């Protein structure tokens, strides 16, 4: 189970059985309990998009063994998020011009600037969908990424 927990969207008896089987495999400890919440699903793409992006950052980190999930996030924000916002937000373009006025290297941009810069949180649902599509198109050819349909994103 990840640090953020697992999310299950159950639309069939097969998915229900898979979730129950997963719960059955969890090692229970008095010192490290688990909380389980079962509630009707309200389709809200934004939280689902955020969960998926963070799952992908972790998957790339674990499979690549080169970067932490936070570093993968910073690199992705720089590679795919910044161009989306530069093209569609004059306010972000002004900020970015100031943030990069000293012409920092690519590595300094993702290591120093991106961890402190909101990118995906500034995006609309449509922009975030484009960001995820771009991420999946490139990184999905190198890594085994969670299927967006499993997160309710089809």
Sequence spans of domains, the chain:
44-151
Distance CA 82, CA 48 (A): 21
- Output the six-digit token pair for 114: 């991106």
CB neighbour burial string for 68-87, b if at least 16 within 10 angstroms, e if fewer: ebebbbbbbbbbbbbebbee
Q: In terms of pTM, does the model score above 0.95?
A: no
Give tens-digit pLDDT for 107-141. 999 999 999 999 999 999 899 999 999 999 999 99
Give the whole-angstrom CA distance, residue 38 versus residue 153.
Answer: 19
Cα 62 from chain centroid (whole Å): 14
């Amino acid at each position: 189970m990840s640090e953020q927990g697992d999310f299950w969207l159950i639309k069939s008896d097969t998915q229900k059985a898979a979730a129950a089987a997963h719960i059955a495999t969890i090692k229970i400890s008095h010192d490290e309990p688990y909380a389980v919440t079962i509630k009707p699903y309200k389709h809200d793409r934004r939280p689902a998009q955020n969960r998926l992006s963070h799952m992908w950052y972790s998957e790339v980190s674990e499979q690549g063994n080169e970067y932490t999930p936070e570093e993968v996030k910073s690199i992705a924000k720089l590679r795919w998020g910044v161009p989306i916002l530069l093209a569609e937000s004059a306010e972000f373009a002004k900020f970015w011009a100031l943030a990069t006025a000293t012409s920092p290297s690519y590595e300094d941009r993702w290591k120093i600037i991106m961890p402190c810069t909101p990118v995906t949180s500034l995006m609309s649902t449509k922009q975030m969908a484009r960001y995820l599509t771009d991420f999946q198109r490139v990184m999905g050819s190198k890594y085994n990424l969670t299927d967006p349909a499993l997160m309710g994103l089809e």
